[in-house]
Structure 1
């Protein structure tokens, strides 16, 4: 009887893994071609051309010209992220440690997510939220499983991981689901 139970469990596990793989393939196959590409139509000139205006008295305040509605705002110059709700209120802001490859300023969307993977620098990461790629390097937010370590930039490997603390990564994971806008500013 124990052998039969093991076989049933193994069979059910195989079916479950196959189903998840098939659904992941289907989801990837039906993603619009432009979903991870910057949108020039929606990009505001201040976000795409120059540095978005900052409040000098409140350096962590959401920069002007960073869009409207629910979105993730990422400043490549300030290494800072803002999670903004649909009423343009900042839900959370935090500093990040970027990899070696930066995305161009513009409007993107979350295109894929992974609960746990190994980063291109060999560090185990969790709550990976990807929104574009540059020259074949995936760009996205993630948290190092062992803590808030920045991406290993000493290895010479081109990394697109924008590292957050685990607490910030948890909030990003809850907020930035597939299709949520990501606005990259200077």
Structure 2
């Protein structure tokens, strides 16, 4: 529930929900005000399928830990969901650096959007490249490599759309449900 004075200040409105701020490196609770960490939530009401120390995906710091007031500072996610796939920003950054033959990570902008009722990942990359014609395919390869496995999907059954480009793999390399439909999503 937001605070009246500072819209970034929150506190839980239920004694059955516990919010903790934990150190991103160690996972240990942070008790002192002003130290930034990730929010995890526990819901004590859910008995059949409890939620215990669930990572909410936000960064915060304690404003007043005794009263349970925290200041929300932004998102902490190191990945994005595109459909049912998860894209790791760390892996994407490293793969783009590798495929662009660069010593430093290229500058990039990641846009997550809905297009024609589907999730879409658009990656804009600014880098000096030797072969500009090969750069789009290299970016698409990096996006696919950054896909994290999930329980409900894999790269082969639900590849993310990288770089906003269509899929130009030969039909034999495509999953059976997509063969003959290159470029159509």
Smaller-chain TM-score bracket = under 0.3
Q: Per chain length, whose mean CA-contact separation is higher, i.e. which structure has more relative contact order (CA < 8 Å, sep 6+)?
A: 1
Normalising to structure 1: TM-score of the pair? 0.22
**By percentage of residues, which structure has more helix?**
1
Normalising to structure 2: TM-score of the pair? 0.22
